[in-house]
Amino acid sequence: MNKIIVWHNPRCRKSREGLAMAQKMAEDKALELEIRKYLDHPPSQEELKKVLKMLGMKPIELVRTKEAVWKEHFKGKDLSDDQIIKAMTQYPKLIERPVVIYKNKAVLARPAEKVLELFN
């Protein structure tokens, strides 16, 4: 799979910056770019588990804990990793962005320059 995949939210400035960096890398390396608006097409629990492994992160590290939905439904609860993953699939707004995936690696592109780590 020679393409870069970006989990993107067009309303987020950081996500737009990460996407711009991924687009530049795709052009420079003649790779296909797949933009996934993850709020419209949320990842499955299995996809999230796979990407978290690529990121080397625990599920809670990918959660936007300042989101109202987190505060209303989950804050202060002792949740398992699987429960956190399920929350992210139910409420994709909780997923930190942008996630950029290339081959078997992924980065949370905050800042956007983290995209470069996929090609080192």
User: How remote is the C-alpha of 27 from its chain's centroid?
Assistant: 21
Quick one: which of 39, 38, 36 has its CA closest to 22? 36
Q: Is the dihedral of CA 62, 10, 89, 44 positive or negative?
A: negative
> Pick the catalytic residue: 2, 9, 12, 117?
12
Q: What is the dihedral of CA 22, 26, 47, 90, to 10 degrees?
A: 40
> Which residue is associated with the tokens 């990842």?
43
56 is catalytic: no
DSSP, collapsed to helix, strand or coil, labels residue 109 as coil
The residues that are catalytic are 12
